[in-house]
Amino acid sequence: MHPLVGEFLSIGSLVEKLLHLDPLWIYVIVALLVFLEDAVFIGFAIPGETAAIVAGVASSLEHVDLGLAIVIVVSAAILGDSVGYEVGKHFFGPKVLHSGLLSRHRARIDGAHDFLRRRGGIAVFLGRFTAFFRAMMPALAGSAHLPYRTFLKWNAIGGVVWGTLWVVVGHIAGSSYHAIEQKVGRSSGIAAVVLVVLLLVIWKIRSERRAD
């Protein structure tokens, strides 16, 4: 099986499982996934953006409240980035940067460091919209000793824009569910919503990989 096929199937499985959970667990799991993606510098393996989209889909299915879902995603993003900043500040030295774990990302890490030196807080904001930099930028900002007040301002702006955008995108993607459910049933409605979310995630992954 091609790696991308396996990746998309695992995303589809995540979406289906989340959509069938109790609302409280949807909030908790979405918050945890978004937080972990930002809090640890290996977070590019954690589907935080997918979780934000799923929260929006769940709100369109009336499983969770849209406003609360946005608040939870945004808060988890900002808090996760702040933890990532502290990790970078205290633990993310040259030894970690040159470890085997990150060796295959060397060019992108060097590019992110250079971008951070040139643009400061704006780099933190822009990094929020690419999966790799969303995971790495907070730690890089901490290791570069970017003033925390500057970091927090741009981190908060990025978190609000990013979190609101993807939850609303998920909500819009799931809005077709009720019409489909009336025509062909609940299972087909859920399947259609999962397909729409998969297409959104596939488009985002492919656009980011073309940019690398």
Q: Is the dihedral of CA 96, 99, 102, 107 positive or negative?
A: positive
- Overall pTM > 0.85: no
Q: What is the model's pLDDT at position 73?
A: 96
Task: Report pLDDT for 99.
Answer: 58
Q: Considering only CA atoms, which of 9, 31, 33, 29 is closest in space to residue 21?
A: 29
Return d(Cα 144, Cα 187) in angstroms, integer: 50
Q: Predicted confidence band at 203 (pLDDT cuts at 50, 70, 90)?
A: low
Task: Quick: pLDDT tens for 21-69.
Answer: 888 999 999 999 899 887 765 555 567 887 888 888 888 878 899 999 9
Query: Helix 106-119 vs helix 131-143: angle between axes, to the nearest 10 degrees?
Result: 60
Residue type, 62: E
User: What is the band of 7 on the pLDDT scale with cuts at 50, 70, 90?
Assistant: very low
Rg, C-alpha atoms of the chain: 18
